[in-house]
């Protein structure tokens, strides 16, 4: 904890913290430590609602993440409208298959191809991103001067409906979702459903709400700057400001990371923008598959040199290739002969690009160590949902 306070946080006076809280709606976050191997990863708890003082009584206010939802909706809109700004970013492990399929389909089928693999990840990515740099970059992301944020509800059957008799079936599940649309080109809710919003969800009833809000882009960017530049954390009775990195636990952290590293790709890895190469990145985990061995070597060397303006530092222990190479006299870890290449919980065949799920990583883990204890109203239903999903 002392190393965290020295490296990431700087203490501020209680009076200064209260002055900041009085000038904005964002409150403070609390720190929780998530076990990762033999270490602990600091995660900000930004979902917790906080008490606010009013003239009449103390009220339970919104969480920080809920206040950031308009920015989240606007960035999701930009993701759909301008996906090229995200570079090689993946949004889920399931996206790997589609990228591999498209890449393999673009190659001449009659030729025998030798694929060169290289993967690496950035050390403590969320904690090392320079705040001023990412905020400056995000000013160029919005394509609209104003966004309309709408809300709709999605209602699904209870988890046990259809499995048992009607009396024991659970109640329908209702969840609210926010989405952004351009003010200059308003689209009806029905048109948005038909254009793809409802195509991937089955057994779901979509209910539009008449409520909407208009948000000026300058206001959203100001809120983002406040969130990243003055993220206040309470540890015990003391307050700290996060002086380095972006808040891990924020609904915006993945977006910020994706846009920032996409800019790194454009500035330092543009030699990979060729049909013979496929670059994948799941947040901070990079994977390159290329037909050109020299490009694979250049990729590994470029990243291992570090990119200080992006806070990027890569460790040898997390780097893996399927060919012989060394960096600064140190041999890079090589995949065993005949083995499949591991990446984000999957295995990729180095000859055919076939992809399978990595089921061996959890075979030695006791089941009791993988069950989350639910303290909600329906622990049995949540357990059933996780087992059957």
Directed axis angle between helix 69-81 and helix 253-268, to 10°?
40
Calculated CA dihedral for residues 33, 36, 37, 38, nearest 10 degrees = -30
Proportion of the chain above pLDDT 70, given as a percent: 89
Q: Where are the alpha helices (DSSP H) in the chain?
A: 2-7, 14-22, 64-67, 69-81, 95-105, 125-128, 131-138, 189-192, 217-229, 253-268, 293-305, 379-388
pLDDT tens by residue, 79-122: 999 999 999 999 999 999 999 999 999 998 878 899 999 999 99
From CA 187, how far away is CA 205, in angstroms rounded? Answer: 19
The residues spanned by each domain of the chain are: 2-69+220-242, 83-134+252-362, 146-209
pLDDT tens by residue, 225-274: 999 999 999 988 899 999 999 998 899 999 999 999 999 999 999 999 99
Q: Which CATH number fits domain 83-134+252-362: 3.40.50.2300, 2.60.40.10, 3.30.70.2630, 3.40.50.1000?
A: 3.30.70.2630
DSSP helix/strand/coil, 73: helix
CB 261 within 8 A of CB 89: yes
From CA 260, how far away is CA 130, in angstroms rounded? Answer: 10
Structure tokens at 385: 């949902």
**Which of 194 and 267 is assigned the larger pLDDT?**
267
pLDDT tens by residue, 270-307: 999 999 999 999 999 999 999 999 999 999 999 999 99
Length of the chain as a residue count: 389
Residue 236, pLDDT score: 86
DSSP helix/strand/coil, 364: coil
């Amino acid at each position: 904890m002392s190393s965290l306070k020295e490296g990431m946080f700087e203490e501020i006076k209680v009076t200064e913290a209260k002055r900041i809280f009085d000038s904005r709606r964002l409150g403070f976050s609390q720190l929780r430590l998530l076990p990762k191997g033999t270490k602990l990863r600091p995660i900000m708890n930004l979902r917790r609602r906080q008490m606010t003082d009013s003239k009449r009584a103390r009220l339970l206010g919104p969480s920080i993440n809920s206040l950031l939802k308009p920015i989240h909706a606007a960035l999701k809109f930009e993701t759909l409208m301008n996906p090229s700004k995200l570079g090689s970013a993946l949004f889920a492990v399931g996206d790997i298959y589609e990228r591999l399929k498209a890449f393999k389909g673009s190659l001449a089928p009659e030729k025998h191809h030798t694929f060169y693999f290289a993967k690496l990840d950035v050390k403590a990515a969320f904690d090392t991103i320079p705040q001023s740099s990412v905020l400056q970059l995000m000013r160029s992301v919005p394509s609209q001067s104003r966004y309309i944020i709408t809300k709709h509800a999605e209602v699904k059957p209870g988890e046990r409906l259809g499995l048992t008799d009607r009396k024991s079936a659970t109640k329908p599940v209702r969840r609210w979702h926010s989405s952004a649309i351009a003010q200059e080109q308003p689209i009806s809710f029905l048109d948005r459903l038909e254009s793809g919003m409802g195509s991937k969800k089955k057994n779901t009833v979509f209910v539009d709400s008449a409520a909407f809000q208009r948000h000026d882009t300058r206001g959203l960017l100001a809120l983002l700057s406040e969130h990243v530049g003055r993220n206040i954390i309470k540890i015990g009775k003391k307050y700290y400001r996060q002086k380095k990195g972006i808040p891990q636990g924020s609904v915006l952290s993945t977006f910020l990371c994706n846009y920032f590293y996409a800019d790194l790709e454009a500035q330092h890895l543009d030699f990979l923008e060729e049909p013979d190469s496929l670059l994948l990145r799941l947040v901070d985990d990079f994977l390159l598959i290329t037909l050109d061995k020299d490009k694979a070597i250049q990729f590994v060397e470029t990243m291992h040199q570090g990119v200080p303006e992006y806070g990027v530092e890569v460790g040898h222990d997390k780097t893996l290739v399927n060919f012989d190479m060394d960096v600064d006299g140190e041999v890079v870890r090589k995949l065993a002969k005949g083995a499949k290449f591991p990446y984000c919980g999957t295995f990729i065949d180095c000859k055919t690009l076939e992809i399978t799920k990595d089921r061996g990583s959890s075979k030695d883990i006791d089941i009791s160590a993988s069950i989350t204890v639910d303290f909600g109203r329906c622990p049995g239903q949540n357990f059933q949902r996780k087992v059957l999903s």
